[in-house]
Amino acid sequence: MIVFEPFLQSIEHPDHRERLTMILQDIQDTFPELEPVIKWNQPMFITHGTYIIGFSVAKAHLAIAPEMACKDKFHDQITQAGYDMTKQLVKMKWTEPAHLDLIRNMVAFNIEDKKDMTAFWR
């Protein structure tokens, strides 16, 4: 988590910082094989040089970027969780519960689906 500290400390709202810290820590604890990195000023996890999941902070929400193929696969679960979506992002309002099982499932899917990839993006 050390790699994420400067980014996390830049989040002004303490509750937002705490929520993202909890999510990032959960991913790191659940998937210790993933490498935590900051790219494009966003915390993300990669494996063997390929992107798995990333996050960005907005005033009203935490954006989760699992890539479109993953977002499409989990569309129904994302909708059931009450999260908004754009073409590339899942938007979790700061007031909404963090569905860690859903996030873990998206990460697990991307790890398996991209296990033979050599490029960063799909």
Write out pLDDT tens, residues 24-34.
999 999 999 99
Domain covering 2-113 assigned CATH 1.10.3720.10 in the classification: no
Provide the strand spans (E) within the chain: 35-39, 42-47, 50-57, 61-65, 84-85, 90-93
**Tens-place pLDDT, residues 95-106:** 999 999 999 999
pLDDT at 75 over 90: yes
Query: Where do the domains of the chain lie?
Result: 2-113
Q: What percent of the chain has pLDDT over 90?
A: 93
Q: How far apart are the first and last CA of the chain?
A: 26
Pair of tokens at residue 79? 């909708």
Residues 7-14 have a mean pLDDT of 95
**Tens-place pLDDT, residues 76-121:** 999 999 999 999 999 999 999 999 999 999 999 999 999 999 889 8
pLDDT at 1 over 80: no
Which pLDDT belongs to residue 122?
A: 87
Which pLDDT belongs to residue 48?
A: 94
Distance CA 122, CA 119 (A): 7
